[in-house]
Amino acid sequence: MASEQSCHELVANLAPNLDPHPWVFTQLGTEIEPSFADKGIFALIREDEGLTAIQRASSAVADDPPLFARITLQVYSDLEAVGLTAAISRALTDRGICANVVAGFHHDHVFVPFRRGEEALQCLADLATAADAL
């Protein structure tokens, strides 16, 4: 399937999907362990200060980290598309929901506070419906 660059088409076809598992952002240090896949890790981000992992909460070793819900936007977004992150950020901001967006090759993944996952899912579905009606 071809990726989409039109912001209107991207928003109209979001098809957000809420993962039922809680996720956490943790710091692993400066080196990747060979067995990182066994730790429920969804993504690794290398920063000057060390590695940040986004992993299932049940796999995390940090004490009492904040829990996040992961919403995957099912639309195939092009990595060079302009406006998608702004549109979803604006919709979530209007409802007072913080969002951390991670882009994969095919999909964008939005991490929101776990307790507000369903509300954020509905917000993004409403955004898609409104764009589709235009």
Q: How does pLDDT run across 72-130, given as a tens digit for each residue? A: 999 988 888 889 999 999 999 999 999 999 988 888 999 999 999 999 999 999 999 99
Q: How does pLDDT run across 9-32, given as a tens digit for each residue? A: 888 888 888 999 997 877 666 565
Q: How does pLDDT run across 39-55, given as a tens digit for each residue? A: 778 888 887 788 888 98
- pLDDT reported for residue 40: 78
29 Cβ partners below 8 Å, 6+ apart? 50, 51
Counted residue by residue, the chain has a size of: 134
Spell out the alpha helix ranges (H) of the chain.
7-12, 84-94, 117-133
- pLDDT reported for residue 60: 64
The CATH number for 1-22+67-134, chosen from 3.30.2130.10, 3.40.50.2300, 3.20.20.70, 3.30.70.20, is 3.30.2130.10
Per-domain boundaries in the chain: 1-22+67-134, 23-64
What span, in angstroms and rounded, lies between the C-alpha atoms of 103 and 109?
Answer: 6
Q: What is the SS3 assignment for 40? A: coil
49 DSSP 8-state letter: T
With bands split at pLDDT 50, 70 and 90, how would you rate the model's confidence at 35? low
Whole-structure pTM value: 0.79
CA–CA–CA angle 123, 125, 127 (5° rounding): 70
